[in-house]
């Protein structure tokens, strides 16, 4: 068995993110919890930040708990994430997403 505990956790997180449907979003903390890692929202963020460029992981569907992107508005990363989301139907109210409508509830 070559897999470390850490790799298992990483796989669990990525699996959860992959299951977020188009047009929906989930918070870092929500993803962590669904992956069986309660309280590790920050760790999820760190994981995504280290994701390789060519990754197929829909990282852009993960936002913070207040319904906003965790990038500085106007930054390249912010615009990229926002465009991805709007393209699949997510509507922004200013800089905030209406979680009532777009939050993923499994």
Partner DNA sequence: GTGGAGGCATTAA
Partner DNA sequence: ATTAATGCCTCCA
Residues forming the site for DNA (CB under 7 A): 6, 27-30, 39-46, 48-49, 51, 59-60, 62, 64-66, 70-71, 77
Beta bridge partners of 29: none
30, 87, 10, 1: CA torsion to nearest 10: 140
Which is closer to DNA, CB of 77 or CB of 86?
77
**Minimum gap (Å) between residue 21 Cβ and DNA:** 18
The residues near 13 (Cβ < 8 Å, ≥ 6 apart) are 31, 32, 35, 37, 44, 47
Which is closer to DNA, CB of 22 or CB of 80?
80
Query: Which tokens belong to 33?
Result: 């919890």
Which is closer to DNA, CB of 23 or CB of 99?
99
**Minimum gap (Å) between residue 91 Cβ and DNA:** 20
């Amino acid at each position: 068995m070559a897999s470390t505990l850490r790799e298992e956790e990483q796989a669990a997180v990525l699996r959860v993110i992959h299951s977020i449907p188009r047009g929906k979003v989930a918070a870092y903390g929500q993803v962590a919890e669904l992956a069986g890692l309660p309280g590790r929202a920050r760790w999820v963020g760190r994981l995504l930040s280290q994701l390789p460029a060519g990754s197929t992981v829909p990282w852009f569907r993960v936002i913070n708990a207040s319904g906003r992107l965790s990038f500085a508005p106007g930054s390249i990363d912010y615009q990229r994430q926002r465009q991805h989301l709007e393209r699949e139907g997510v509507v922004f109210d200013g800089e905030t997403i209406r979680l009532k409508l777009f939050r993923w509830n499994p």
